[in-house]
Amino acid sequence: MQSFYNPPLILKKLFGSFVWETSCGKILLTFDDGPIPETTPVILKQLRDKKIKALFFAVGDNIKKYPSLCNQILGEGHVIGNHTYHHKRITKISYDEAIKEIRSFNELLYEKHNYRVKYFRPPHGIFNLRTPSLLRQSGLKNVMWSLLTYDYKNDMSIVKFAVQKFLKQNSIIVLHDSLKTKDIIVDAIDLAVSEADKKGFKFGEPVECLK
């Protein structure tokens, strides 16, 4: 059961260069797939109110469409990571196309926002044996997770089960900045924060969590 929410140990050992949990004993909140007008401002308000800094694995297409949201994320002290330019599964495209997806994202952030990207997460969390090579070529660190909330199913009972049962002191939590989570994202963030408080856990900033 736990492997549905926290990847199995054998996978973590096989891909030891990937980051699966924080290194400072604090929780890291991450958000995949944005930014979009329907959810990003709401997420940012929640994070601002709760004084939490997060890591947003954004999609290049969305940043191109909504550059002001990208600026707002960065302006409020959060970190942006690479989730490819078009949210393509890197296992379904050629090596050269995957490199292009990753590098095009980095170039967009640098050219339009003067921002150098350090972190990567593959769309849908799917990778293969060539992924470490892709990231070495791109100079990025692959940040996975240790708590998948399934918030994209739009069912708070699933999120509640995941967080209450599997939240740990060094968890990297995955939530989604997308239309699929629009109706529950506020409650999902509130739940993560309240459960952390109950257990005496703290939230860390991305850089300290990913040293």
- Report yes or no: 58 and 83 within 8 Å, Cβ to Cβ: yes
**What's the pLDDT tens digit per position in 23-67?**
999 999 999 999 999 999 999 999 999 999 999 999 999 999 999
Please give the domain boundaries of the chain with CATH numbers for all domains.
Answer: 2-209 (3.20.20.370)
> How far is it, in rounded angstroms, from Cα 167 to Cα 194?
11
> How far is it, in rounded angstroms, from Cα 123 to Cα 127?
9
- pTM (whole model) above 0.95: yes
Strands (E), the chain: 28-32, 55-58, 79-82, 119-120, 141-142, 147-148, 172-176
Dihedrals phi, psi of 126, to nearest 5 degrees: -105, 130
> What type of residue is 93?
I
Name the token pair of 119: 């972190």
Q: What number is the average pLDDT over the span 155-172? A: 97
Is it the case that residue 19 has pLDDT exceeding 80? yes
Three-state SS for 151-176 is HHHCCHHHHHHHHHHHCCCCCEEEEE
**What's the pLDDT tens digit per position in 70-112?**
999 999 999 999 999 999 999 999 999 999 999 999 999 999 9
